[in-house]
Amino acid sequence: MRVSLLPLSAGVSFKPEHFAAISAAPQPLGFFEIHAENYMGAGGVPHAQLRFLRENYALSLHGVGLNIGSTEPLDRAHLARLKHLCDRYQPECFSEHLAWSSHAGIFFNDLLPLPYTEANLTSVIDHVDEAQSTLGRRLLLENPATYVRFKQSTIPETEFLAAIARATGCGLLLDVNNVFVSARNHATSATAYLEAFPLDLVGEIHLAGHFETTDGQGSPLCIDAHGSPVVEDVFALFDSVIARTGPLPTLIEWDNDVPDWAVLLAEALAAQTRLDRSRLVRAAPAAA
Amino acid sequence: MAVQKCQSDFAGALRNPDLGVPQSVTSYSSDTPKERFAVYRNNVVVGLAGALEARFPATRKIVGEDFFNGAAKLFAAAHPPRSPLMLFYGDAFPAFLADFEPAREVPYLADVARLEAARTRAYHAADAKPLTPAALSGVALDTLAGSCFTLNPSVEIVASDYPIVTIWAMNSGEIDLAPIIDWRREDALVSRPGCDVEVRRLPPGAKTFLQNLAARNPLGEAAAAALAGDARFDLAANLAALFAGLAIEMANQPNEAALP
């Protein structure tokens, strides 16, 4: 069963500075993704542009502020705003993060990590249940890029995500760059992570750029910056995933130092080429 | 440690660098991964300062990048966002600048910031169908004085003791930078007639006039109040400014362009 209704092709995260180029001609892309919170104003240009995208392409709504990983109750007002947006634009997919971003009334504007414990598992399951029942739709939950670990964590991240999906029926958004970044930051194996990941539940893939520096001990510190091209190592991991799953809706995220449209489009088309190749590779044994 | 305490410790340490790395946090390379935890702290500070930078470009141009970033970080520490809607983060920044001692030498700075904050609100305001002069042609002259109007949802008036429309225009690339010979107070009309937010200099008395219209007082009463407040008030000039900014609508009419 399909986990999302997005087409099995490449898309990009929409940036308003690209609107003129995007609207000038049909683009060879399957879908656009927007950050839901940027469209919570009442009207004006953002909604005019979103209407255009909605009318011409499949649409993915990506939330960054629902605070699903918080130990506090969900913000009902924010959930209502998300519902309004989903009802108004009927996106093919809605996704959010395994992270928290607000605490005690303050919004941190970042995706913050949580310990993987039984108590947090219960809390996240409750939050995903509440979000799905309010929105009246299945959501995809994204694996985070993390820089630290928690001493209390007792459950591997892949198991934590799988348990949430089992309990709530939600799908997963596999951010391959996040897998790479986290593995680098924790000196673990990205390949082993992907082998443990429940790929049958993946409804969308994210690819993005990162950069690397070092910590005070001289060990690699990899930053999920979304400000550069996808590196070859991440594309290679992506290939290994789609070799197992076949083509999946695949998004290029580029949020900082946003390049010209031609550069971003070329990056998406590079992902599309790999999706096409995976289709051929998987078709080959059957044809033989 | 309970997960609640773990999260509140993490949140506290994000806000207060003096607290160091939270006890529950670790990494393979260090038990107190200072640089790794600092990535989160840096994301928060840089993200908030970046949001203010994007919303207040003319304010930033006036004081320069370093001064602005310093002010933005102090503001963000004292006034963190209370909602995940970052579109409107910084509504309180102009008031912060008004009381910001190091900015005292630039007395108009807070008013320029108020103008920029109003522009963002106008950008995101609800869509509406503005009143054109042609629509008024059907209204009999003798009933016009008794007619009420509503302001377009995007409209804000930013009053100032300084020539803020001129200063803003010079620092946002609308007009060339030049010495301001005619240094006098300017009130700004911010409105969004269509897609683009526009800023106009309001004629004398316009602030009172518009405030009366916004309170749904009839046109005649609004004009009389404005004239009483400022003898230079000129009704024709004011209506021309409002029509140019497509800032008004007839009251008691369904708003046809309103979105569902």
Interface pTM, i.e. ipTM: 0.94
Q: Provide the pLDDT confidence category of residue A288 given band limits of 50, 70 and 90.
A: very low
* Dihedral (Cα; A21, A26, A32, A38), 10-degree rounding: 40
Q: Provide the pLDDT confidence category of residue B134 given band limits of 50, 70 and 90.
A: confident
Share of chain B above pLDDT 70, in %: 94
Nearest by CB to A65, from B6, B34, B84: name it: B84
**Looking at chain B, which residue has its C-alpha nearest residue A100?**
B7
Q: Is residue A147 part of a domain?
A: yes
Tell me how far CA of residue B211 lies from CA of A233, B156, B249, in angstroms: 61, 10, 14
Name the residue ranges covered by the structural domains of chain B: 1-89, 107-260
Contacts of A43 in chain B (CB under 8 A): 124-128, 153, 259
Looking at residue A284, what is its pLDDT? 66
The answer, yes or no, to whether residue A229 has pLDDT greater than 70, is yes
- Average model confidence (pLDDT) for chain B? 90
Q: Is residue A234 part of a domain?
A: yes
The answer, yes or no, to whether residue B1 has pLDDT greater than 80, is no
The answer, yes or no, to whether residue B139 has pLDDT greater than 90, is no
Contacts of A109 in chain B (CB under 8 A): 43-44, 47-48, 51, 81, 86
Looking at residue B250, what is its pLDDT? 63
The answer, yes or no, to whether residue B109 has pLDDT greater than 90, is yes
Instruction: Count other C-beta atoms under 10 Å from residue A197's C-beta.
Output: 21
**Sign of the CA dihedral with A28 first, then A50, B47, and B195 last:** positive
DSSP calls for A136-172: TS--EEEPPP-S-EETT--S-HHHHHHHHHHHH--EE
Q: Is residue A171 part of a domain?
A: yes
Helix axes B219-229, B206-214, angle to 10 degrees: 150
The C-alpha R_g of chain B, in whole angstroms, comes to 24
Q: Is B260 on the interface with A (CB under 8 A)?
A: yes
Q: Is B37 on the interface with A (CB under 8 A)?
A: yes
8 Å CB contact between B167 and B139 = no
Question: Cα–Cα distance between A203 and A245 in angstroms, integer?
Answer: 11
Q: Is residue A5 part of a domain?
A: no
Looking at residue A285, what is its pLDDT? 58
Cβ–Cβ of A150/B123 closer than 8 Å? no
Question: Cα–Cα distance between A19 and A5 in angstroms, integer?
Answer: 24
DSSP lists the bridge partners of residue A208 as A253
Burial of A236 (C-beta count, 10 Å sphere; 0-12/13-18/19+): middle
Nearest by CB to B7, from A70, A187, A216: name it: A70
Nearest by CB to B82, from A48, A106, A147: name it: A106
Question: Cα–Cα distance between A184 and A146 in angstroms, integer?
Answer: 10
Cβ–Cβ of B40/A117 closer than 8 Å? no
Q: Is B26 on the interface with A (CB under 8 A)?
A: yes
Cβ–Cβ of B24/A70 closer than 8 Å? no
Looking at residue A137, what is its pLDDT? 96
Q: Which contiguous run of DSSP H or E holds residue A269?
A: helix A261-287
Between residues A79 and B237, the one the model is more confident about: A79
Looking at residue A220, what is its pLDDT? 94
Length of chain B in terms of residues written: 260
Q: Is residue A190 part of a domain?
A: yes
Task: Measure CA of the first residue to CA of the last residue in chain A; give whole Å.
Answer: 26
Looking at residue A177, what is its pLDDT? 98
Task: Determine the structural domain holding residue A223 and report its residue range.
Answer: 10-287
Residues within 8 A of A (CB atoms), B 65-124 only: 80-87, 122-124
The answer, yes or no, to whether residue B257 has pLDDT greater than 60, is no
Residues whose CB falls within 8 Å of the CB of residue A268, separated by 6 or more in sequence, listed in order: A10, A11, A12, A29, A252
Q: How far is A192 from chain B (nearest CA, A)?
A: 17
Q: Is B129 on the interface with A (CB under 8 A)?
A: no
Looking at residue A2, what is its pLDDT? 66
Q: Is B20 on the interface with A (CB under 8 A)?
A: no
Question: Cα–Cα distance between A25 and A57 in angstroms, integer?
Answer: 12
Q: Is residue A128 part of a domain?
A: yes
The pTM (predicted TM-score) of the whole model is 0.93
Q: Provide the pLDDT confidence category of residue A142 given band limits of 50, 70 and 90.
A: very high
Best of B24, B28, B29 to disrupt the A interface (most A CBs within 10 Å) is: B29
- Give the three-state DSSP class for A187: coil
Q: Is residue A242 part of a domain?
A: yes
Please tell me the total count of domains within chain A.
1
The answer, yes or no, to whether residue B258 has pLDDT greater than 70, is no
Q: Provide the pLDDT confidence category of residue B245 given band limits of 50, 70 and 90.
A: confident
- Give the three-state DSSP class for A288: coil
Q: Provide the pLDDT confidence category of residue B259 given band limits of 50, 70 and 90.
A: very low
Q: What's the pLDDT tens digit per position in A81-120?
A: 999 999 999 999 999 999 999 999 999 999 999 999 999 9
- Give the three-state DSSP class for B156: strand
8 Å CB contact between A210 and A194 = no
The answer, yes or no, to whether residue B133 has pLDDT greater than 80, is no
The answer, yes or no, to whether residue B135 has pLDDT greater than 80, is no
Question: Cα–Cα distance between A219 and B29 in angstroms, integer?
Answer: 7
Q: What CATH number is attached to the domain comprising A180?
A: 3.20.20.150
